[in-house]
Amino acid sequence: MDGSVLREDKGNEVKDKGAVIEPNVAANGSREAIFDEFRRWGYLEAELDPLGDFKPEAVPELQMGGEAADEARRIYCGSVGAEFMHIADGEKRRWVAERMEAPAMEPDRAWILDRLVRSEVFEQVVQSRYLGTKRFSLEGLTSLIPLLDEALDTAAERGAEEVLLGMSHRGRLSVMIHIVGRSAADIFARFEDVDARSVMGGGDVKYHIGATGQYQTRGGRKIGIHLVSNPSHLEAVDPVALGRARAKQTRRGADGAKQVLPILIHGDAAFAGQGIWAETLNFVGIDGYGAGGALHIIVNNLIGFTATPRECESSRFASDLAKRMDMPIFHVNAEDPDAVARVAEIAVEYRYAFAGPVVIDLVGYRRYGHSEIDDPTITQPLRYRKIQQHPPLWKIYAEKIGRDAAVTVEEVKQEFETAQKQAATLEKRPQMWQLPGYWSEFEGGPYKPEFEVDTGVPRERLQEIAGKLTSYPEGFAIHPKVKKLLEQRAAMASGKHPVDYGMAEALAFGSLLLEGVPVRLSGQDSKRGTFNQRHAALIDTETEREFIPLANLGGEQARFEAYNSALSEAGVMGFEYGFSRDYPEALVMWEAQFGDFANGAQVIIDQFVAAGEDKWHLHSGLVLLLPHGYEGQGPEHSSARVERFLQLAARDNIQVCQPSNAAQYFHLLRRQALRRWRKPLVVFTPKSMLRHPAAASPITDFSAPRFQTVLRDEEVREADRVLLCSGKIGHELTAERKRRKDSATAIMFIEQLYPFPEKELDAVLSDYAEAREFVWVQEEPANMGARGFVMPRLERMLNGKRLRSVKRSASASPATGSAKAHELEQKTLLTLAFGTGK
Ligand SMILES: Cc1ncc(C[n+]2csc(CCOP(=O)(O)OP(=O)(O)O)c2C)c(N)n1
């Protein structure tokens, strides 16, 4: 059989024939030299597969005899294979070697046996009670439970108070009971599917929902456990769990990384294959995205659904992706629970010693099919013939340690069966999670007008903030272009020039920070801004030292963070979504380089941002800033896919807005932070409009009370024709109207597309009762943009009045690649908008 633990079965050949590989010269070397070979290559000869199918490889460098070699082989080629010689940092390498070579502590064998019995019996009770129901049994890898026990014990000794646990389906139910501390009745209630009416059209399956609980260590310490709600999409939870951990650590301050430990449990096929995980792994050492190192556990059953490791991975081990980082990887045979416990302890100690990540690759098997409905003998008949004969781990372990468990299988069965009976009589679905206290002042659910608050800021206050935003320390060598920009911003604040988007945003951030609202912005090149519009960090031209005006507002202010992120969409957006989940008081923003690239994070948008509340009742105030607009820059620099967000919108799950001027953007950002309603906000942000005079706003508009969901036309109050639009095209229509000297066409901007502002729009439309026609105008092709969403609503509201739409022809890609073609198309749109409509 082939596989990840052994790619090619050369090992047998070498062992059988003995002489194929020359003994290594190191056999004659010093003890240290011999040990070094085993430190480097020993993991390749470790005995990792409990079923022995995936055989170790004979490594030429290790073919030697002698006392030192025997000793090194016992340490490095037994049930544990430690990979750490790829780590560049010598201190870390030495640390791992020392720990591996030190005598092992006596594990608490009675405890381990008890845990194995409990987790195996739980699975058996479910199997017999709910035959044919998916549960994704942990059998074959039940030593995950004592592994987690040891990890949590060790972490608690080092100061852990909370653990963020991200994991997929495999063994999740067992973890909920044995680690998170949920009652067995809670879990059985999900199998009974009690109170189904409470989740009509919503909720999630039992092996995806999140759970909160408390773990009590054997030493009597308590750790809060947050099992993060997880979609089916494998590994998508990784950045979310890390973002949540980072937020919790930030809240706790200097000791945050010590007190909050992220643990991510991965499947072997998913670890090797999923891109979002590769993106997330890269965050480890990046400023703003670290979480003090996570403990990663690969629950490695050497199969992915029906596919073998060879079919899923090019690498030798599923864990090889991690080798690109300075982190140790401990492979361990899951059927040696003593070794598993030891590795868990070493791994967590390593995390605490170096504030860095570490991987445990727990190698076992899967007793049943992928879910219990699948028959694995169809695809892996030989391995499953073996598995059918293979006793459960608790039996093997009891025999090995020569004692019985303190608790009998019958007693545990009885306990679970009682819980099962109790669950069957429940009338209400037990709530498995609890929101932390910092959520008490915020809420999700449907929109209510009473959420609204005034977002205007008095003129003097704005000027004060602007003063701080446009100054820098004495002797700071400012770039001449940035200097000019700051001077222009000062002039904007003083009322000499209208305020542009860049300044509007800085004023929104500055005012919020001074009101105690933390602000976190992350995205590619977000510090300067893709369009050279932000300049959140000033760079000294002599020293490249950074100065961040928003972090230096003077007096009491909240924390300001702006980061240039890794070049990742899914990973970073997931991280920020996670961060927002544990920092509801903060304004948390993810910015796309161009909105077009946001679809790289489609899983995060669909599974978390749009559906998180519906599935898990969990709220987020995450803001997505997505540059959008047709400017002749081709198919992939034009559209943030307005249509997709509107398709996802239902039951007030998200907000979708396109502010058309700087003051509106200012009020929108402040509204998001100051209302107690926590809903993801999708903002289509401008590109060329960043500097367009028509989109700039007088400073007085920043003292106006609020964001307006619809902008009425102040110029044309009596109209023959009413053009309705959103965003940049509205300014082009206004310019065209001027060019035509048309005084009979009114132009209305819909600034909030979802929740659709029907009441506000109705009020504005009623001013134009005499209009002959109403026209929806958009830049996007007919099958894209807001058209499909807006037209049926307008039709209903206009109640039989003439309504048409102007748009590009339906298209497979969002925009043309030719700048000239773009211009022609744009002109045609304007002509059609002002057409006779006959
Ligand atoms: C992104 C994604 N693709 C495909 C699937 C379907 N799927 C569910 S489990 C699974 C196999 C996972 O194998 P592995 O990661 O080894 O975990 P295991 O189930 O063996 O524990 C697949 C392909 C999925 N859930 N998510």
Q: Please identify, by atom number, the ligand 1 atom nearest to the C-alpha of residue 233.
A: 26
For the question of whether the overall pTM of this predicted structure is more than 0.75, the answer is yes
Q: Please identify, by atom number, the ligand 1 atom nearest to the C-alpha of residue 234.
A: 26
Ligand 1 centre distance from Cα of residue 572 (Å): 22
Read off the DSSP letter of residue 677.
B
Q: Please identify, by atom number, the ligand 1 atom nearest to the C-alpha of residue 304.
A: 13
Q: Is the predicted pLDDT of residue 237 greater than 50, yes or no?
A: yes
- pLDDT reported for residue 200: 77
Q: pLDDT category, 4, cuts 50, 70, 90?
A: very low
Is the previous residue joined to 262 through a cis bond, with omega within 30 degrees of 0? no
Q: Is the predicted pLDDT of residue 676 greater than 50, yes or no?
A: yes
544 burial (CB, 10 Å; 0-12 / 13-18 / 19+) is exposed
**Percent of the chain clearing pLDDT 90 (strictly above):** 88
Ligand 1 centre distance from Cα of residue 169 (Å): 9
How far apart are alpha carbons 244 and 226 in whole angstroms? 10
CB atoms within 10 A of CB 818: 12
- pLDDT reported for residue 343: 98
Where do the H-state alpha helices sit in 130-236?
A: 144-157, 172-175, 184-192
Question: Rounded mean pLDDT of 342-350?
Answer: 98
Q: pLDDT category, 203, cuts 50, 70, 90?
A: confident
Sorted by sequence, the CB contacts under 8 Å of residue 188 that are 6+ apart come out as 129, 419, 420, 422, 423, 424
β strands within 634-744, DSSP E: 655-657, 681-685, 710-711, 721-725
Q: Please identify, by atom number, the ligand 1 atom nearest to the C-alpha of residue 270.
A: 15
Collapse the DSSP code of 227 into the 3-class scheme (helix H, G, I; strand E, B; otherwise coil) and give the result. strand
- pLDDT reported for residue 207: 85
Which two tokens mark 215? 């773990």
CB atoms within 10 A of CB 789: 18
Q: Please identify, by atom number, the ligand 1 atom nearest to the C-alpha of residue 236.
A: 1
Q: Is the predicted pLDDT of residue 327 greater than 50, yes or no?
A: yes
How far apart are alpha carbons 508 and 666 in whole angstroms? 5
In the structure, which protein residues have their CB atom closer than 6 angstroms to any atom of ligand 1? 170, 232-234, 267-270, 299, 301, 303-305, 370
The answer to whether 147 and 297 have CB atoms below 8 angstroms apart is: yes
Ligand 1 centre distance from Cα of residue 370 (Å): 9
- Alpha carbon 667 to its chain centroid, in Å, reads 27
Q: Is the predicted pLDDT of residue 23 greater than 60, yes or no?
A: no
Q: Is the predicted pLDDT of residue 104 greater than 50, yes or no?
A: yes
Q: Cα separations (Å) of 593 from 339, 352, 480? A: 47, 36, 25
- pLDDT reported for residue 27: 52
- pLDDT reported for residue 315: 93
**Percent of the chain clearing pLDDT 70 (strictly above):** 96
Ramachandran sector of residue 428 (left: φ over 0; alpha: ψ -120 to 50; beta: rest): beta
Ligand 1 centre distance from Cα of residue 338 (Å): 29
How does pLDDT run across 30-61, given as a tens digit for each residue?
999 999 999 999 999 999 999 999 989 899 99
Q: pLDDT category, 1, cuts 50, 70, 90?
A: very low
Question: Rounded mean pLDDT of 599-626?
Answer: 97
Q: Is the predicted pLDDT of residue 324 greater than 60, yes or no?
A: yes
Ligand 1 centre distance from Cα of residue 733 (Å): 50
Q: Is the predicted pLDDT of residue 3 greater than 80, yes or no?
A: no
How far apart are alpha carbons 574 and 536 in whole angstroms? 23
Sorted by sequence, the CB contacts under 8 Å of residue 750 that are 6+ apart come out as 658, 709, 710, 724, 725, 726, 757, 761, 786, 790
Q: Please identify, by atom number, the ligand 1 atom nearest to the C-alpha of residue 299.
A: 21
Look at residues 309, 327, 230 and name the one whose alpha carbon lies nearest to residue 268. Answer: 309
Ligand 1 centre distance from Cα of residue 764 (Å): 51
Nearest alpha carbon, ligand 1 atom 2: 233
709 half-sphere exposure, CB direction, 13 A CA radius: 17
The larger pLDDT score, comparing residue 3 to residue 673, is at 673
- pLDDT reported for residue 438: 97
**Three-state SS string across 19-86, please?**
CCCCCCHHHHCCHHHHHHHHHHHHHHHCCCCCCCCCCCCCCHHHCCCCHHHHHHHHHHCCCEEEECCC
Ligand 1 centre distance from Cα of residue 233 (Å): 8
- Alpha carbon 80 to its chain centroid, in Å, reads 31
Pocket test for ligand 1, best of 137, 142, 167, 234 (most atoms within 8 A of CB): 234
CB atoms within 10 A of CB 40: 18
- The pair phi, psi for residue 345, each rounded to 5°, is -65, -45
Which two tokens mark 527? 């510090």
Nearest alpha carbon, ligand 1 atom 17: 267
How far apart are alpha carbons 481 and 488 in whole angstroms? 11
Q: Please identify, by atom number, the ligand 1 atom nearest to the C-alpha of residue 301.
A: 20
End-to-end CA distance of the chain: 74
Ligand 1 centre distance from Cα of residue 267 (Å): 7
User: What is the spatial order of strands in the sheet that 623-627 belongs to?
Assistant: 560-564, 519-523, 587-591, 623-627, 681-685, 655-657, 752-754
Q: pLDDT category, 28, cuts 50, 70, 90?
A: low
Sorted by sequence, the CB contacts under 8 Å of residue 92 that are 6+ apart come out as 84, 326, 328, 350, 354, 356
Q: Is the predicted pLDDT of residue 15 greater than 50, yes or no?
A: no
Q: Is the predicted pLDDT of residue 13 greater than 70, yes or no?
A: no
Sorted by sequence, the CB contacts under 8 Å of residue 769 that are 6+ apart come out as none
The answer to whether 323 and 83 have CB atoms below 8 angstroms apart is: yes
Mean pLDDT of the chain: 94
Which two tokens mark 576? 């920020």
How does pLDDT run across 239-250, given as a tens digit for each residue?
999 999 999 999
Ligand 1 centre distance from Cα of residue 665 (Å): 41
Q: Please identify, by atom number, the ligand 1 atom nearest to the C-alpha of residue 300.
A: 16
Pairing of strands 538-539, 546-547: antiparallel
Read off the DSSP letter of residue 427.
S
Question: Rounded mean pLDDT of 471-480?
Answer: 97
How does pLDDT run across 718-767, given as a tens digit for each residue?
999 999 999 999 999 999 999 999 999 999 999 999 999 999 999 999 99
Question: Rounded mean pLDDT of 187-209?
Answer: 83
The amino acid that residue 666 corresponds to is: F
Out of 23-27, 33-37, 546-550, pick the least confident. Answer: 23-27
Ligand 1 centre distance from Cα of residue 479 (Å): 51
How far apart are alpha carbons 764 and 494 in whole angstroms? 32
Q: pLDDT category, 516, cuts 50, 70, 90?
A: very high
